[in-house]
Amino acid sequence: MKRLAFVITITGLMLFAGCRPAAAPISISRRPVSAGDTRQPVTQEKPVTELTWTSMDGSEQRVGDQKDKVLILDFWATYCPPCRDEIPHLNALQAKYGDKLVVVGLNVGGAEDRPKIAAFIKDLKVSYPVAFPEDALLTFVSGDDDRIPQTAVFDRQGNLVQKFVGFDPTVKTQLDRAVESAMSE
């Protein structure tokens, strides 16, 4: 009888200790969001709508300048085979949605890649603007993940909807869905 009471008491204590609510999740990394995840990085230098890129002609634009349009920011380099594979699809999306969609190709290939950009644009018939991201924009989208291409879809209010790393048939389908969803909101 004492043994049974002891077992019941220990079992009760274990259940009580094990049923406490879990602690709130905390962020332990600045690692970026993954495909389908819309959480923002832990810290931002400025609001998302204030993040900028500089076009090839030297003019600066902000995420917030694209108000009422869906925005795709594609981070790429000339030496990246999946980047080359993705560009025809981005051209097709731009053609499909017209002025309701803004696609910007953001080169992250570094100083050694810049002289190759003009020929790259011509060879691949890039139909959208090419620019260079500010560090804060690059950090916001990619965090410490330097794989490319990285493609971010923003809604009409400038909120990150979804981010993709790489390009393959699955990413193509998911990108189409993300753009379509952002268009319908």
Q: What is the pLDDT along the chain (185 residues), one digit of tens a residue?
A: 665 555 455 555 444 444 333 222 222 223 333 444 444 444 567 899 999 999 999 999 999 999 899 999 999 999 999 999 999 999 999 999 999 999 999 999 999 999 999 999 999 999 999 999 999 999 999 988 999 999 999 999 999 999 999 999 999 999 999 999 999 88
* Secondary structure (3-state) at 84: helix
Structure tokens at 38: 């819309």
Calpha distance 21→10 (Å, rounded): 20
Q: Note the pLDDT of residue 32.
A: 37
Q: Note the pLDDT of residue 78.
A: 97
Calpha distance 161→43 (Å, rounded): 18
Q: How many residues does the chain have?
A: 185
Q: Note the pLDDT of residue 185.
A: 80
In this structure, the number of other CB atoms found within 10 A of the CB of residue 7 comes to 10
Q: Note the pLDDT of residue 115.
A: 97
Q: Note the pLDDT of residue 107.
A: 97
Burial class (CB in 10 A: 0-12, 13-18, 19+), 176: middle
Structure tokens at 166: 């790489």
Question: Any idea where the domains of the chain sit in the sequence?
Answer: 38-184
Please give the C-alpha separations between residue 72 and each of 24, 78, 110, 113, 138, in angstroms, as whole numbers.
33, 18, 21, 22, 14
What would the CATH number be for the domain defined by 38-184? 3.40.30.10
Residues contacting 73, CB < 8 A, separation 6+: 53, 104, 106, 133, 137, 141, 151, 152, 154
- Global pTM reads 0.76
In this structure, the number of other CB atoms found within 10 A of the CB of residue 12 comes to 10
8 A C-beta contact, residue 97 and residue 89: no
